[in-house]
Every structure is written in C-alpha cells, then in structure tokens.
Amino acid sequence: MAYDFAETFRDIIKTEGGKIVLCVLDGLGGIPSEKFGGKTELEFAKTPNLDKLAKISAKGLHIPVEFGVTPGSGPSHLAIFGYDPVKNIIKRGIMEALGIGIEPEADEIFARGNFAKCSVENGKIKVLDRRAGRISTEINEKICDTLNLQIKEIDGVRIKFYPVKEHRFCVSFKSNSISDEIGDTDPQKVGAYIRKPEIIGEKTEQKEKISTVAYELTLRVSEILKGNEYAQGILLRGFSKTPDIQSFEERWKLRSLAIASYPMYRGITKILGMSVAHLSEGTLKEQINVLKQNFDKYDFFYFHYKKTDSAGEDGNFEAKVKAIEEFDQHLEDIINIKPDVLAITGDHSTPSEMAGHSFHPVPLLIYSKSRIFQDGEGRFTERDCMKGVIGTIYATKILPLLLAFAGRLEKFGA
C-alpha cells in the first residue's frame, strides 16, 4: 500500500451513512481437490442462498497481505480492517495471550514459550529438545501450576505462567519499568545455549531490566525443573505488550461491534477498540441474535465464523464443505436484518488440500442496497470471483469499498 487510505483521505470519511455487516468465514478460500472432481470446497458445497446473493452482489478476490504471502490471523485481520499489515504488527507473545483469552492488563508484557529438554553446563543451559518431546497438555498444566506456586515475581516484576497446548505456554511480566523491545531467549537450535535476550535498538534501563529478568527467570525455572522427567527448561520468544494501534472507530469513524466467539478474534478486535459482544454458546444462531439485538447501536459489525478454518486446518474437505453449507443455511437470517452493505469473505485461504493457511486470494462478495454494480452471474466460488466486477484487490482496499458502498465517503477534490 503506497499510502495509508484512512490518513490520506481522512477528510472525506463521514460519520453518517449505511450500516455495514462484514462476515469473515475464517480460512474460506480453497484450491481444487482431485478427489472431489477438481472442485474447491466452495464449488463442491450446495449453497443456494449464497448463490442467490452472489447474483445481485459484486464479487472479487482479495490478497490478504501480498502476492505469495501466507498470512497468520493477525496480519490478515488487520488488513481486512484496513490497517497496513506490514506496519501494524501484533507480535507473537500478545497473539498467544489473546488466543487463550487473557485480557491484557496495563504494563503487562507477554512472551510465547516452549517447555524444552535441557541440561546445565557450567551454569549455562543447553537445549536438547526444543519441544520436550511434545509433552501432553495435562503435563504442561501441571508444570505451569508448579512454576506459578514457586515464582511470583523477580526483581519487582510480577510473573505468571499460562498453559496453552502440548509444550506451548505463555508467560506474562508485569511492571511499569520494563519494555518489550528485546529479542528471544530461544537460540532456535538444539545443542545451543539459552541466551540473555538482546536489546533491540538503543539501550534503555527498561529494556535492560526485562532482559535481565527474562534470563533470570529461565535460570530459576531450570533449577525448579532439575530432575523433572519431561522438561528441564523454557524457551521464550516474541516479547510484546498490547500494541499501540489506532482504534478502528478513530480510523474509520464507525461505531463497531465484534461478534466472535474465539478468543484470538475477540482479542484482536479488543486491541482495535471495538465493542466485543458477550456470547455464551457461540453458535451461528446466537451470533445472529446478537447482531439483530444490537443493530441499532452500531454502524459496523464484524461477524466471525471459525468452522471453515478449523476444517481446512484438519485437511478435512468434507467438513469444510459442511461448514460452508451450515453458514449458507443461516444466511437468510442475516439478510433479513437488512444491512445496507453486507460483505462475505475470509481472512485468508485454508485449503483442506494443504491442511493449513495458504497464500491464495480469498473470495469476496459485497452486497449493497444501492451504488452497487451487480455481477449478475456466477456463484460465490474462487473461480467465479476471479471474473467478478471487483477484480482482485488487496485486502486493505475492502474497508474503503465498504464505506463507499455505504455512502460514507464524500467526494475528493473539486
């Protein structure tokens, strides 16, 4: 992106206009599967409601970050929300924290951690297995309990361990005199020694302190875990506090509600200052009810659906097809709420053929009550979207287009 849209065109963004619903079907895009007749999940799925909507909408594809780049959920969501995903980075530590539902406090810094097999040599800790043989989540939880009991703080910095999955955990450092601009303790190599994190940029007391405390922590953990049969050390990466990103409302002049049940998406939208709806079940039905009940109170609704991505990650073509069909069955209930602009897309592609995120452009559909160039033909599939009127665009262009369709942009220049 050559320049920042919201900055450059700030003066033409209005505070009034139509209501926008953006449905993100996580990992929506796919690639053809030979086993299923050379079709993608979207092509294989029976989607009568999406088919109908596609005819009266504008279609296209979006490139989340850049041609060839497979994005994580952080960058892809930032791009869809109209932020430069290269300049606005949500680092690993905070992403991991958000992913397990932690609500970051002020002055709290997170690091992503691995439990590892280690040995101590001359006071230095050598890495023997970076994942401790992928210990079970139960063992992980037990080790975290032990550490939380024995280490409350180091040098005035409060320490807390949170188990994640298998060998992965998250650790928080809280103090008003530390910075997150340091490197990792993790040497990334078996046989190498755990490091005191490097200072990034100019030296300051705050950076020196977090580096010293982080290294001290790895030494103390080693002592506590000496003789433990599963893991004898920890590797820390991606130290990060809550990033300082312009709020979505400030940026786009939209009062916004996030309707998402998964912690990571709730966390990202919270960082952007959106209101995040309370959900008890997290079903599509509940999400649609929340949308309906709050429709008068907000201008913009982010509606997140996770199942498409989970099925794709599992490499389960049929489950992804089913997830798409389930969304399709609920589509009319969303349409009946009568948003002025309704966009349906994914944050990135997760082809079940690849069982993971991919770099492929993502189908995009925009319906608008007015100002719309309807495609008139084609289904909501990767290949039909290629021929759509929107063309293939960068994800950062989606928000400006939604504002334009909603009548929220004034004329630029005389």
Q: Which is nearer to a second copy, 43 or 181 (CB)?
A: 43
Would you give the DSSP letter of residue 104? P
> Is residue 263 part of the contact set for a second copy (CB under 8 A)?
no
The smaller minimum CB distance to a second copy, of residues 172 and 358, is found at 358
Phi and psi of 229, rounded to 5°? -80, -20
Asked whether position 373 contacts a second copy by CB under 8 A, the answer is yes
Contact flags string 204-243 toward a second copy, x per CB under 8 A: ----------------------------------x-----
With CB under 8 A, what is the number of residues at the site for a second copy? Answer: 62
Which of 86, 149, 190, 355 lies at the binding interface for a second copy (CB under 8 A)? 86
Residue 119 sits in the site that holds a second copy (CB under 8 A): no
Instruction: List the one residue from 360, 363, 380, 395 that touches a second copy (CB under 8 A).
Output: 360
Cα–Cα distance, 82 to 404 (Å, whole number): 13
In the complex, least distance from residue 206 CB atom to a second copy, rounded to whole angstroms:
24
Binding residue for a second copy, selected from 4, 69, 148, 196, defined by CB under 8 A? 69
Exposure string of 103-133, with b = 16+ CB inside 10 Å and e = fewer, is ebeeebbbbbbbbbbbeeeeeebbbebbebe
75 binds a second copy (CB under 8 A): yes
Q: Decide: is 8 part of the binding site for a second copy (CB under 8 A).
A: yes
**Helix, strand, or coil (residue 137):** helix
Shortest separation between residue 348's beta carbon and a second copy, angstroms: 10
Is 32 near a second copy (CB under 8 A)?
yes
Does position 95 bind a second copy by CB under 8 A? yes
The verdict on 85 binding a second copy (CB under 8 A) reads: yes
Q: What is the DSSP string of 67-101?
A: TT----HHHHHHHHTT--TTTS---HHHHHHHHTT
Judged by CB under 8 A, does residue 391 bind a second copy?
A: yes
3-class DSSP assignment, residue 387: coil
Work out the number of other CB atoms within 10 angstroms of the CB of residue 101: 12
Judged by CB under 8 A, which stretch of 149-157, 167-175, 255-263, 392-400 contacts a second copy?
392-400
Please report how many Cα atoms fall inside a 13 Å half-sphere around the Cα of residue 131, on the Cβ side: 8
Segment interacting with a second copy, rule: CB under 8 A, options 19-27, 83-91, 123-131, 302-310: 83-91
Name the minimum Å distance from CB 283 to a second copy: 27
Q: In whole angstroms, what is the distance from residue 308 CA to residue 108 CA? A: 33
| CB-based contact 13:6 (threshold 8 Å) | yes
**Site for a second copy contains 357 (CB under 8 A):** yes
Which CA distances in Å does 108 have to 102, 104, 241? 11, 6, 6
> Which residue among 57, 73, 179, 218 contacts a second copy (CB under 8 A)?
73
Give the ranges where 193-279 is alpha helix by DSSP (H). 205-224, 248-252, 263-271
Decide whether 21 or 213 has the Cβ nearer to a second copy. 21
Helix axes 284-293, 317-335, angle to 10 degrees: 20
Q: Contact between 395 and a second copy (CB under 8 A)?
A: no
CA distance 143 to 67: 42
Question: Could you tell me which of 343, 255, 340, 254 has the C-alpha nearest to residue 14?
Answer: 254
27: contact with a second copy by CB under 8 A: no
Interface residue with a second copy, options 114, 232, 358, 381 (CB under 8 A): 358
Token readout for 73 is 């959920």
- Verify binding: residue 400, a second copy, rule CB under 8 A: yes
Question: Which span sits near a second copy by CB under 8 A: 117-125, 180-188, 206-214, 400-408?
Answer: 400-408
Q: Which one of 65-73, 139-147, 201-209, 217-225 is the stretch in contact with a second copy (CB under 8 A)?
A: 65-73
Q: In what order do the strands lie in the sheet with 341-345?
A: 275-276, 256-259, 300-305, 20-25, 341-345, 362-368, 58-63, 391-394
Closer residue to a second copy, CB minimum distance, 46 or 387 = 387
CB-nearer residue toward a second copy: 231 or 399: 399
Binding piece for a second copy, criterion CB under 8 A, among 126-134, 137-145, 188-196, 364-372: 364-372
In DSSP notation, 15-46 reads S----EEEEEETTBB---BGGGTTB-HHHHS-
The residues that touch a second copy, with contacts defined as CB under 8 A, are 1-3, 5, 8-9, 12, 31-32, 38, 65-75, 85-86, 89-92, 95-96, 238, 354, 356-360, 370-374, 376, 382-383, 386-387, 389, 391-393, 397, 400-404, 409-414
